[in-house]
Structure formats: structure tokens, C-alpha cells
């Protein structure tokens, strides 16, 4: 069964590059990004891991911990990390799960048998502090993901949780947002005292709240 948005992310224990972890304990009260890559020592994965390492501070700013996974061993992960450091000019200082028996991969539906029954696809799970799955992505092995888009979606989710706003197509941090439909105009007056632009009763545009 695939994990769906709103489901509780399953807990697990696994060996990683920082030792054996319990996933929930490692997450604590943070948001989390759990992402898989098909194979160590492969070109696309090398660029992805380098980019994620470079963006670690951006995830941290948002209270998000990141953790990678593939079906390779801890020893392979450790060796490959040196290659990433050398070729991508960055240190990989977030944990990588070794999942050679595919226990976590199967738990999270990262194996898509008709794509490959030996390797994980490029999955992403964004998990909130209540351990709810808030975003899932499945990319093919040949297409590197856009980690700016993952950050952008986390910004959107965190805004929605805090201010009852949604984000329009192609929204970027700092641009106008939309009052969620479940907020009445009465409530909106209290939440957005500076007002909003009503394009349609269901499309109410407001400046991005801050603070």
C-alpha cells in the first residue's frame, strides 16, 4: 500500500552513516525529509547528494532534518561520501540510511517493481512534527530532483499551518498568497486586518504574512 498524504509516516530502526537510529527519536519534534536514491556511486545521485548537502542550512532554517536512503551498505555510503565531497565541493553532513534488505524502502513504497525491483526510485517524503506525510514525490532514476522545489513546498506547507493561507501557481517566498476557502470573511477580517483583494468570493489575495 502506498503512503498517502495525511498518513502517519511509519517508524523504523535502521543502520545509517551516523550509526543505528530510531527514525522517530532521530526526528524528535522537527519536520523531516526522507529521500531515496537508486544507487551509490552513480552520476545523478552524486549531484543530488551534493546539492542537498549544500542546502542543509536552508532545511535547518525551516526546522527540517534531512536523511537519505538507498539499498547500499553503510560502507558504500561512507566511501561514496568522499567522492561527493571531492566532485561536488561539499561535505555530506546528514545521515544516509543503509537499506540492503529493502525494509524501509518497502515500508515507504520506494520500490516500484515495474520500474525496478532491485533499486528504489527517487522518492521524497516531507513529514511534519506530528509525523504526518505532507508531500510525496516519485521521480524516475534518470531525472535528478529539484531540491529548490522541495524547499518551496515546505515554505508553503509551513505558511498554511501558521496563517491559514494557500500559495498560488509558481508562488515564490515573499509573493502574495491566497486566503484558504475554509476561512470566512468574518474570520479573515481578524486574521488579515490590512485587508485583501477579492478577485472572486473564492479567490481572495493577501500579502504574505510574516513573523
Q: Which helix (H) or strand (E) holds 125?
A: strand 122-127
**C-beta closer to ligand BEZ: residue 68 or 159:** 68
Instruction: State yes or no: is 45 an active-site residue.
Output: yes
Stretch of 43-51, 76-84, 86-94, 184-192 contacting ligand BEZ, by CB under 6 A: 43-51
Choice among 33, 44, 45, 69 that is catalytic: 45
DSSP 153-175: HHHHHHHHHHHSEE--TT--TTS
DSSP state of 140: -
**Distance in Å, CB of 88 to ligand BEZ, minimum:** 13
Torsion, Cα 119 27 17 10, to 10 degrees, reads -30
**Distance in Å, CB of 71 to ligand BEZ, minimum:** 11
Which residues 136-165 are close enough to bind ligand BEZ by CB under 6 A? 141-142
**C-beta closer to ligand BEZ: residue 32 or 38:** 38
| Interatomic CA distance for residues 121 and 39, integer angstroms | 9
Q: Which residues bind ligand BEZ (CB under 6 A)?
A: 38-39, 42-45, 141-142
Amino acid at each position: 500500500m502506498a503512503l498517502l498524504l495525511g498518513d502517519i509516516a511509519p517508524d523504523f530502526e535502521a543502520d545509517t552513516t551516523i550509526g543505528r537510529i530510531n527514525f522517530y527519536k532521530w526526528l524528535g519534534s522537527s519536520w523531516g525529509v526522507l529521500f531515496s536514491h537508486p544507487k551509490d556511486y552513480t552520476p545523478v545521485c552524486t549531484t543530488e547528494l551534493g546539492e542537498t548537502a549544500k542546502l542543509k542550512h536552508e532545511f535547518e532554517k525551516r526546522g527540517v532534518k534531512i536523511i537519505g536512503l538507498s539499498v547500499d551498505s553503510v560502507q558504500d555510503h561512507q566511501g561514496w561520501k568522499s567522492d561527493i565531497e571531492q566532485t561536488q565541493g561539499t561535505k555530506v553532513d546528514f545521515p544516509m540510511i543503509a537499506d540492503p534488505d529493502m525494509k524501509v524502502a518497502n515500508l515507504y513504497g520506494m520500490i516500484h517493481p515495474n520500474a525496478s525491483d532491485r533499486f528504489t526510485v527517487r522518492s521524497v517524503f516531507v513529514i511534519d512534527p506530528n509525523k504526518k506525510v505532507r508531500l510525496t514525490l516519485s521521480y524516475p532514476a534518470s531525472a535528478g530532483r529539484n531540491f529548490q522545489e522541495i524547499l518551496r513546498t515546505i515554505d508553503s506547507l509551513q505558511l498554511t499551518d501558521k496563517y491559514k493561507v494557500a500559495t498560488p501557481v509558481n508562488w515564490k517566498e515573499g509573493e502574495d498568497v491566497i486566503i484558504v476557502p475554509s476561512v470566512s470573511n468574518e474570520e479573515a477580517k481578524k486574521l488579515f486586518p490590512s485587508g485583501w483583494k477579492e478577485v472572486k468570493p473564492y479567490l481572495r489575495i493577501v500579502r504574505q504574512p510574516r513573523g
